[in-house]
Amino acid sequence: MSTVETVVRLAYLAAATCFVLGLHLMNTPATARRGNRLSIAGMLLAVAATLVLLVDSGDTSPAGWIVLAAGAVVGSVAGLWAARAVPMTAMPQLVSLFNAVGGGAAALVAIPELAPPADAASVRVPAALDVVIGALTFAGSLVAAGKLQGLVPGRPVLFPGARVVGGALAVIGAVAAGVLVRGYGGGAAVAVLAAAALALGVALVLPIGGADMPVVISLLNACTGTAVAMAGFVTDNSVLVVAGALVGASGAILTALMAAAMNRSLAAILLGGYGTGDGAS
């Protein structure tokens, strides 16, 4: 291992520590803000270390650097603007929107690894999982945000045969994932897998009432964490694995806590169809 690589790995370790301690500090109101700032420090460290890694490897073309910088600037400005401009009452849907783009990014990271069916199964399995979870979260979070914003009806949207459609989508996705994991099929199988996961994300969130959305967003947030951990397996990157698993697990606990605080069982929420929101029609 080269010196640079050692330093980068140590920086990733420090970043992961910042995330854990930062989350822990968010347990009490008095230290919560400090916890978030510690978490920001961890993020800056992780990104800086990755920049060092890229510069040191020297594989990136000038055009690649321009694309990287352009993407980072556009995304940062959009995120900053949205976070500043949106009124306090619209926060949950904004969090859901950020969750959607995070899930989308996680799914897209795995796609180059899946398209050429050459990698080992140890890469293909997490890559397929990453695309499924990430795409499902992307679509689901967008629908959840739409429901809270009033762009999508807040009442539970149910239609005859909805469960059958959901089941069929799950089967299609499972078959496409199986084909990819076995190493057959390239771009077409990836597209089918992503499309099935996107449609399933919509089908799962639509029947849930608007008042349950915060719990659903929290659950989708945990899903994105898991997708990021899978992306960590795909890119063989420890900070993605640690941070993703951390968010996946703490997000799942948080979802259970939120459901309990609302006196709702998670199973009842996910089955959907229970009024609230704009009122069932």
Partner 1 sequence: MSAELLATLSIFLLALLVGFEVIGKVPATLHTPLMSATNAIHGVILVGAMLVASVAETTADYALGFVVTAFAAMNVVGGYVVTDRMLGMFRAPEASR
Contact flag: residue 108 with partner 1 (CB under 8 A): yes
The binder of partner 1 chosen from 10, 188, 261, 280 (CB under 8 A): 261
- Smaller CB distance to partner 1: residue 19 or 277? 19
Residues 109-138 close enough to bind partner 1 by CB under 8 A: 109, 111-112, 122
Separation CA 251–CA 257 (nearest Å): 10
**To the nearest whole angstrom, how small is the minimum distance from the Cβ of residue 266 to partner 1?**
14
Using CB under 8 A, which residues numbered 169 to 188 contact partner 1?
A: none
| Cβ-Cβ contacts under 8 Å for 208 (sequence gap 6 or more) | 156, 216, 269, 270, 272
Contact call for residue 238 and partner 1 (CB under 8 A) = yes
Tell me if 243 contacts partner 1 by CB under 8 A.
yes
Taking CB under 8 A as the binding criterion, the range among 107-115, 165-173, 188-196, 266-274 that sits at the site for partner 1 is: 107-115
Cα gap 233→61, rounded to integer Å: 25
Nearest to 41, CA basis, from 71, 11, 70: 11
Site for partner 1 in 44-63 (CB under 8 A): 46-47, 50-51, 54, 57, 59-61, 63
Least CB distance from residue 248 to partner 1, whole Å?
A: 6
Size of interface with partner 1, in residues (CB under 8 A)? 100
For partner 1, the closer of residues 126 and 277 by Cβ is 126
Helix, strand, coil percent values for the chain (each to nearest 5): 80, 0, 20
Distance (Å, rounded) from C-alpha 272 to C-alpha 264?
12
Residue located via tokens 């990021």: 228
- CA-to-CA dists, residue 174 to 92, 148, 178, 192, 220, angstroms: 31, 30, 6, 10, 20
